[in-house]
Copies of this chain bind each other. A is one copy, B any other.
Amino acid sequence: MDQVALESNAVFLGIEYLAVFICGLSGGLAAIHKKYDLFSILVIAWVTALGGGITRDVLLGALPPVGITDRGFVLTALASGFIVAIVHPEIEHLKWSMIVTDALALGLFAVNGTAKALAYHSSGMTAAFLGMFTALAGGTIRDVLLNEVPSILRDKHLYAVPSFIGCLLTVFAARATDHWRLGLDGEMILDVCIVIIVFVLRMLSVAFNITFPGALKRHRSHLP
């Protein structure tokens, strides 16, 4: 199973904790900017880090969701909230490192979410949806709670698009693994490549200000 491929590897598990931690930091920082109290900082850090996985598990029927049952992830998310409440000036300073690690988290959550859905025998389309929820829902819930338009809708840089490509590729990788009997190692190499592809696409978009087009610009209707 694909999920096993990712989670059987200590390096990957380490990166996943790092991804949760980084998402928690960025969530906590948003709460600090609004001058909320420590409890709210922890809530927002937790929901940003684990809200995506919770959404995936609710839609998948894998209940109760990992975001309230897995001690390691919950403690990591809460720890990120505590830490950012103390070292927030330094975190602000490290803005560029945050963007880099967040891009890594984006790829990882997309691959992991898709893989988990496939392990639950979802179709490819459903798995791609669930991978995107894993990657994008946490930040969306954070923005809804902070009463802002979600940044994935607002931000002109590519954010959702790389995660979508990552989800699609993960589905193909799982199909290829089944078809050519690549085994656990082969699958993991494919998964690592996909995380890197998502990461590179995201970083290129930020670095070179690449954006996605909007609706066709037309101001007159061709109807009578």
Contacts and interface: CB of A to CB of B under 8 A. Distances in A.
Contact of A63 (B32, B38, B61): B61
Interface in A6-58: 31-32, 34-41, 43-44, 54, 58
Q: How large is the interface on A (under 10, 10 to 19, 20 to 34, 35 or more residues)?
A: 35 or more
A204 to B, nearest CB: 16
A45 B123 CA distance: 22
Contacts of A176: none
**Closest 6 interchain pairs by CB?**
A61-B63, A89-B221, A68-B129, A37-B212, A85-B215, A93-B221
5 contacts: A37-B156, A39-B160, A60-B64, A85-B215, A89-B221
A64 B215 contact: no
Contacts of A212: 37-39
Contacts of A179: none
A101 interface: no
Taking each of A31, A147, A219, which has the highest tally of chain B beta carbons within 10 Å of its own beta carbon? A147
A122 interface: yes
Contacts of A63: 58-61
Interface string A85-108: 110111011100000000000000
Given A60-B63, A61-B63, A125-B74, A215 B38 contact: yes
A32 to B, nearest CB: 4
A223 B90 contact: yes
Contact of A146 (B86, B129, B149, B161): B149
B130 A37 contact: no
A222 interface: yes
Nearest to A150: B145
